[in-house]
Amino acid sequence: MARVLKAEVEGSLAEALAVLKGGGLVVYPSDTVYGLGAAASDERAVARAFAVKGRLSEKALPLLLADVDDMAPLCAEVPPIAKLLTERFWPGPLTVVLRRSPSFQSPALGGGDSVALRVPDHFFLRQLIRALGEPITGTSANRSGRPSCRTSREVQRHLGSAVDLIIDGGASRAGQESTVVDITIQPPVIVREGAVSRAEVGKVVGVVSGA
């Protein structure tokens, strides 16, 4: 079984960082649900994340960033609509899909030309990403098709033997996955409605379709 550390315990951040740098998988608390983290550039770790999820490697994983400014280098462009959404909802439970910069490569993207990004509203998690110096995978810590985990106990029950470290940050604040908005097409499409409502997105960008 994976080791479980309380987020507030001294040394938990350093240990999570060491696991990620060593090619391991860390389950972390967030502002939405518990997530399954691998360093975005680590091919073997990302492959493990896909396997743990039971998810096809062609189905891209979202990535989490520490700060809004980290978005631009990963994208071909940051259109005005992206700036409006991120100014309103980041840090927070909104994932934005943009065109990938040709210079940014990650096995998490499944070979696609888009990238799904989010800055979470969670102090420990953002510290971890910032210390790592690159994005981490932002997929929920559960088997594909199963309910998301809202506590570390749920994670232990479902994934405890498949990951290297679980950071216990208490019950997830939102208890609901992020809303995903694809702005690579117009009008924007809500791929998944989650913690941010369709109406809230619509107030920022106007007409939206999907979900």
Q: What is the Cα–Cα distance from 16 to 19, expressed in whole angstroms? A: 5
Q: What is the rounded distance in angstroms from the CA atom of residue 174 to the CA atom of residue 194? A: 10
The packing angle between helices 123-132 and 12-21, to 10°, is: 40
Question: What's the pLDDT score for residue 211?
Answer: 59
Can you tell me the distance from the alpha carbon of 12 to that of 126, in angstroms, rounded to the nearest whole number?
14
Ramachandran region, residue 66 (left: φ > 0; alpha: ψ -120 to 50; beta: rest): alpha
Backbone angles phi, psi at 75, to 5 degrees: -115, 150
The pLDDT value given to residue 1: 86
Task: Indicate the pTM of the whole model.
Answer: 0.97
CATH class of 3-84+95-175: alpha beta
How many other C-beta atoms lie within 10 A of the C-beta of residue 74? 22
Contact status, residue 143 vs residue 57, Cβ threshold 8 Å: no
DSSP annotation of 183 reads -
Length reported for the chain: 211
pLDDT of residue 81: 94
Block means of pLDDT (10 residues each) for the chain, length 211 residues?
A: 94 98 98 98 98 95 98 96 96 98 96 97 98 98 94 95 97 92 93 94 85 59
Which residues are CB-contacts of 80 (< 8 A; sequence separation ≥ 6)? none
Distant-in-sequence, close-in-space partners of 17: CB < 8 Å, separation ≥ 6: 128, 131, 132
- Domain residue spans in the chain? 3-84+95-175
